[in-house]
Structure formats: C-alpha cells, structure tokens
Amino acid sequence: MFDKIQRAYDVLDHPQASGSAVRDALDGTGVDVDVTTISTDDGTTDFVKVVVPGHDPEADTLGVVGRLGGAGARPAEIGMVSDADGAIVALATAFQLAEMYDRDDVLPGEVRIATHVCPDAPTQPHDPVPFMGSPVDMETMNDHEVDEEMDAVLSVDATKGNRVHCERGFALSPTVKEGWILPPSEGLLDAQERVTGEPPSTLTLTTQDITPYGNDLHHINSILQPATATDAPVVGVATTSVNPVPGSGTGANYIPELAEATGFVLEAAKDFTRGRAAFYDDEEFDRLQSLYGSMDRLQTPGEDA
C-alpha cells in the first residue's frame, strides 16, 4: 500500500499537477478515467473520476470521494498541503483497485472514485486554524464528485484543523443519510479494526456539520458535504492529528496513517460490494422516518425565520 501512496504523492506534489497526470498514471490498466477542467475567477481545477468495474452487475456500487480544497496553496505555500490527504487516499485507492482489476482480482461491485487536482488553491480563514479554499464552490464539487450510481459513499478528508478529535490516525464518522446522523456502521468499524489492529476511532459530528456550506454556520470541514447531494448513506473517513494543523500547512501528510486509511477504503469496498458491510440499518431508518418524519430539509440551505 505504501507504493500506492507514493505514486499518488508524486502525481499531486507538483506545481503543474493535473488531471491529465492522473490519467497518464492509470493508462493501460483497463479502468475508465474521466477528467473535467473547471475554471473560475479564483483559479482552475481538474475533476477526476475513476470507474473500476465489478464482475456482478447486481452488486452495489461504492463511491469514494477524495474531498479537499486543493493539493497545494502556491504561491503562498511551497509543496503539498495537509488538505491533500483526501486526494492522496482516493488516488492511492484507484491505483490499488486498478492494479487488482488488471490482475483479474475483481470486486463484485463497481467502485467510483472521484476527487479534484489543484496545485494552487487559495486559503481561507477558519477557527482554530486556517482552511484551504478552492477555485470552485461546494455545489460544483458535489456535482462532479457525487453521482446517482453510488449506492453508498466514503468521503475522505483531512480533519486536522479542530480540537474535536485529538489523536493521530483516521476516524470514521457516523453514517449520514437524508439529514439523519445514524449510528456508526458496525461492518465499517470491523474493517477499521482489521486494518489498524486497534480499537475503532470515531468522529464526533454536530447537526451543523451535515448542512450545506454557505449558511453561515460552523462546519468541522467539508467531509460530510457529499451527504447534502445524495440520498445514499455517506460515511466520513477523517485523517486526524493530535494538535490542530492548518489545511494549508505543509509537511503534514502522515504516510503511515494515509496507508491505513487507504487500506480501510479498500477493505470497505470489498465488504460493501460483497454485501458484508451495510452502512446503516434499513428497518431502523424506516422506523425513524415513521416516528419523526423526514429530515431532508437539513440537506438544503434552509430558510431564515
């Protein structure tokens, strides 16, 4: 797994990092790679989507979203920023699954991996430490990274700029679906334990964290923003630190922990597409809805009273 992290790091840690470089790195593997370039007044980024086929058309499809503002903050900072973790894990997962596919070690279900590549994203103020900004807004990210073919989504994001989760490694959020914060998935916790050899590590969420950006509420970061754009269940995979680290901080991509997070995503893909790991309990979710009604208004910008 370390070699896949290194490949992802090499592709992203470059002043001219691009979606084309990702496509070239996957050339000849047999997986489908789509690159879309989006330009705004704040800059340019390349959205990359990698589709790894499965062998069973009836099996569920897993979405893996590498969420970030940018892999670099040039010219303000030199080199890879902490915020790049989501893209590193997403691309390392793509490289591993593509290699497995090429060797005919194919999962039952399709895996759709999406992220974006920007070596010179802006920064933005945030408490307790600055965040990375992005050349594109959150709606555009969701439009290009979340699609209706995904039956469940893992959203990977550097989650180090807070005092909520103060340990190094990666943590799993509770499942979020249609405005509900549901219990953590037992199947995914099993995979986390298996990969790390440690007890599960979970991320605390608040209601604000699962609402769309732009409503003037505090969000831990963008890790659960995909949940505002789909009815599929979403789980955040948060790379974490002991002390708050700015998203624009360099030298803060912790390779062993990135390898563990990538290993987890791979194991979750195996288990989910084989029907061994559910993101939530269908019957309990239906019971919640029948007792308390829909919470999908939390997927919207809301209305001022």
Whether 210 and 179 have beta carbons less than 8 Å apart is answered as yes
CATH number of the domain enclosing 47: 3.40.630.10
Number of domains in the chain: 1
Instruction: Work out the average pLDDT over 101-117.
Output: 97
Per-residue pLDDT of 164-219, as tens digits, reads 999 999 999 999 999 999 999 999 999 999 999 999 999 999 999 999 999 999 99
> Does residue 131 form part of some domain?
yes
Q: How far apart are CA 77 and CA 81, in angstroms?
A: 8
Domain of residue 117 covers 2-299
| 1, pLDDT greater than 90 | no
> Does residue 305 form part of some domain?
no
User: How many residues comprise the chain?
Assistant: 305
> Does residue 115 form part of some domain?
yes
> Does residue 170 form part of some domain?
yes
Task: Determine what percent of the chain is predicted with pLDDT higher than 90.
Answer: 92
| 143, pLDDT greater than 80 | yes
Residue (of 221, 254, 203, 20) closest to 130 by Cα position: 221
> Does residue 125 form part of some domain?
yes
Task: Determine what percent of the chain is predicted with pLDDT higher than 70.
Answer: 99
pTM summary value: 0.96
> Does residue 304 form part of some domain?
no
Task: Name the amino acid, one letter, at 135.
Answer: P
